[in-house]
Amino acid sequence: MRFRPCIDIHNGKVKQIVGGSLKDQGDQAKTNFASELDAAYYAKLYRKDGLAGGHMILLNGQDSPYYEADRRQALSALREYPGGLQIGGGITADNAGDFLEAGASHVIVTSYVFQNEVFQRENLEKLKRAVGREHIVLDLSCRKRDGAYYIVTDRWQTFTEVKLERRTLEALAGECDEFLIHGVDVEGKSSGVEEELVRLLAEWNGAEMTYAGGIGSMEELEHFRGISGGRLDFTIGSALDLFGGNIPYRELCRMKTT
């Protein structure tokens, strides 16, 4: 179980938002924290503290007037910590290689692979040919509907027809290096983890996975460790003191893999 740091970029600034509030129209989101520091600052901090495998997400769509500002922030962070960060947001087979050349260790993809609400095998194959499966993180972030978890795309706004369940994980595990999975309904709320989702992921335990969403205190982190059996990596955003929360970043840096 490892702590994976994060850098979320929205409207050209490092932010922490409530995940389910993100809207393309007007580039809106409910903001928990907006930093006066840039993405490169956080990348340098993570490099200094030896935290590898963190994810950096561009939260504006490519057609947003803010996308280029997001991209500039991301590129500056990659220059500061080459090989130490994964990057997601608008990734396709056409631009994935550019981000790897700029210093990303992996590209994180959802919408390109789950386009038009269904799994697009052809797009995943294009991406694998472009960068290799060893550089791909599949983001299977999900929301609950009708008693099941469904993968969501377009910055978590669109439900796909693909359920996040054991057979989905088994089918996709060989197509990527690891999974990133946000429990979107609790993302940014510090209200507790999606227990059913965490148990599902931990019971399968067939690939490297990072879980995000709802860890709001050190007590909640210990609860997460218990229900996951320590088999999942985790990330914390809004609840971290770096981003205005109460969980001590330095304490997480001291945590060792279990």
Using one digit for the tens of pLDDT, what is the confidence trace for 58-105?
988 888 889 999 999 999 999 999 999 999 999 999 999 999 999 999
Classify residue 164: in a domain, yes or no. Answer: yes
For residue 23, give the H/E element and its range: none
- Average pLDDT for 2-7: 95
Residue 45 located in a structural domain: yes
Q: Is residue 27's pLDDT more than 60?
A: no
Question: How does pLDDT run across 101-142, given as a tens digit for each residue?
Answer: 999 999 999 999 999 999 999 999 999 999 999 999 999 999
For residue 58, which amino acid is it?
L
- Beta-bridge partners for 144: 149
Judge contact between 222 and 216, C-beta under 8 A.
no
pTM of this structure: 0.91
Q: Residue 176 falls within a domain, yes or no?
A: yes
Task: Give the CB-side neighbour count of residue 240, counting CA atoms within 13 A.
Answer: 24
Does 38 fall in a domain? Answer: yes
Q: How many separate domains does the chain show? A: 1
Residue 138 pairs with which residues in a beta bridge?
109, 179
44, containing H or E segment? helix 39-48
Write out the residue range of the structural domain in which residue 80 sits.
6-253
Domain for residue 1, yes or no? no
Residue 10: inside a domain, yes or no?
A: yes
Tell me if 177 is assigned to some domain: yes
Answer yes or no: are the C-beta atoms of 108 and 135 closer than 8 Å: no
CA–CA gap between residue 252 and residue 230 (Å, rounded): 14
258 is a domain residue? no
The CATH number given to whatever domain includes residue 123 is 3.20.20.70
Q: Round the CA-based radius of gyration of the chain to a whole number and report it.
A: 17
In whole angstroms, give the CA distance from residue 133 to residue 184: 25
Across the range 22-29, mean pLDDT stands at 54
- pLDDT tens for 153-191 read 987 889 999 999 999 999 999 999 999 999 988 876 667
